[in-house]
Amino acid sequence: MKITKGADQVGKYARTPNSIRQWCKNCGGHLLAEHPAMGLTDVYAAILPKLKFSPGLHVFYEETALRIPDGKPKQKGVLAELGGSGVLLAE
C-alpha cells in the first residue's frame, strides 16, 4: 500500500514494533496500521466512503471497548494463518 497524495500529512506512531499506527496530522483521523511481522496493513474502511464493506470476522476482539453482536467470528488476536493463536471468543 502506498499513499500517493498528502503523505506529508501522515503521522506515525509505533505502539509496538508489530503495530505502526498512522493518522492524518491535519484532522487527527485514523488511516491505517502496519503490522510488519505479518506483512499486513490494516486500512480503516471508514476512510474509503465508496467501498461496500462487510466484515467477515473481528480480530483483537479481546481488546475491544465496543461489543459487536453481529454473529461474525471474534478472534482473541489474529488468525493462526497469520501467526496468531486462532483462538475464538464468545460473542
pLDDT tens per residue across span 32-42: 999 898 888 98
- What pLDDT is recorded for position 74? 96
* pLDDT for residue 14 is more than 90: yes
- What pLDDT is recorded for position 68? 92
- What pLDDT is recorded for position 54? 85
- What pLDDT is recorded for position 45? 83
Beta strands in the chain (DSSP E): 10-16, 19-24, 30-35, 40-43, 74-75, 88-89
> Would you tell me how many other CB atoms lie within 10 Å of the CB of residue 76?
15
| Domain map (residue ranges) of the chain | 1-48, 54-91
- pTM, two decimals, is 0.65
Task: State the cell numbers at 81.
Answer: 494463518
CB 77 within 8 A of CB 60: yes
Q: How far is the C-alpha of 23 from the C-alpha of 26, rounded, in Å?
A: 9
Report, as an integer, the average pLDDT of 11-16: 92
In what order do the strands lie in the sheet containing 30-35? Answer: 10-16, 19-24, 30-35, 40-43
